[in-house]
A and B are shown apart, each in its own frame.
Chain A
Amino acid sequence: MTRRDGIAWPVIRIVLLGAIALVMTAPYIFMITTSFKPQSEVFAGGLNLLPQQWSIVANYSKAVTAVPLLRILLNGVIVCAAIVFFQILFALPAAYSLAKLRFGGRDIIFGLVIMGLLVPIHAISIPLYAMARWAGLLNTLAVLIAPFTLSVFAIFLFRQFIKTFPNDMVLAARSDGLSEAAIVWRVILPNAWPAASAFAIFSVVAHWNDLYWPLITVSKTQLATPPLGLMFFRAAEVGDDYGALMAATVLITLPLVLFFLFAQRLFIEGLTMSGIKG
Chain B
Amino acid sequence: MRHEVFPSVAGAARHEAIAAWRLCAPTLVLMLLLLVLPSLAVVALSLTDAELGSSDWHFLGLSAYRDLLGDRDFQRAFRNTAVYVGLVAPASVLLGLALALLIEAGTTARAFFRSVFFLPVVSLIVAMGTVWQYLMHPTIGPLDLLLGKLGLPAVNWLGTSDTVLWGLAIIGIWQAVGFNMVLYLAGLTSIDRALYQAAEIDGAKSAWERFRLVTWPMLSPMTLFVITISVINSVKVFETVAALTQGGPAKASEVLLWSIYQEGFVYLHIGTASAMAVVFVAVLLVLILVQTRVLERRVQYQ
Contact = CB atoms under 8 A, between A and B. Distances in A.
Answer yes or no: are A and B bound together in one complex: yes
Interface of A: 1-2, 4, 9-10, 13-14, 16-17, 20-21, 24-28, 30-31, 34, 42-47, 89-91, 93-94, 96-98, 101-106, 109, 112, 115-116, 118-120, 122-131, 146-147, 149-150, 152, 155, 175, 177, 179-181, 184, 205, 208-209, 211-212, 215-216, 226-227, 230-231, 234, 242, 245-246, 248-249, 252-253, 256-257, 259-261, 264, 267-268, 271-272, 275-276, 278
A245 B130 contact: yes
A166 B179 CA distance: 32
Interface string B23-38: 1101110110111111
B118 A267 contact: yes
Interface residues of B, number: 101
Contacts of A47: 142, 145-146, 149
A216 B238 CA distance: 13
A249 B127 contact: yes
B93 interface: no
Interface stretch (B71-79, B132-140, B160-168, B293-301): B132-140
B124 A230 contact: yes
A76 to B, nearest CB: 9
Q: Identify whether the interface residues of A are mostly helix, strand, loop, or mixed.
A: helix
Interface of B: 1-5, 13, 16-17, 19-24, 26-28, 30-31, 33-39, 41-42, 45, 52, 99, 102-106, 108-109, 111, 113-128, 130-132, 134-135, 139-140, 142, 145-146, 149, 174, 177, 179, 182-183, 185-186, 188, 193, 196, 207, 210, 222, 225, 229, 236, 238-239, 242-243, 257, 260-261, 264-265, 270, 273-274, 277-278, 280-281, 284-285, 288
Nearest to A250: B127
A206 B1 CA distance: 36
Contacts of B196: 1-2
Contacts of A155: 27
B178 to A, nearest CB: 8
Nearest to A33: B142
B35 A124 contact: yes
A128 B23 contact: no
Contact of A94 (B1, B24, B125): B24
24 contacts: A17-B103, A17-B113, A24-B120, A27-B174, A28-B131, A94-B26, A106-B20, A119-B35, A122-B257, A123-B42, A125-B264, A126-B41, A146-B34, A149-B34, A152-B31, A208-B124, A209-B124, A212-B242, A226-B126, A227-B124, A227-B243, A230-B124, A249-B130, A271-B182
A214 B89 CA distance: 27
Contacts of B229: 275
Given A150-B30, A261-B115, A180 B20 contact: yes
B30 A124 contact: no
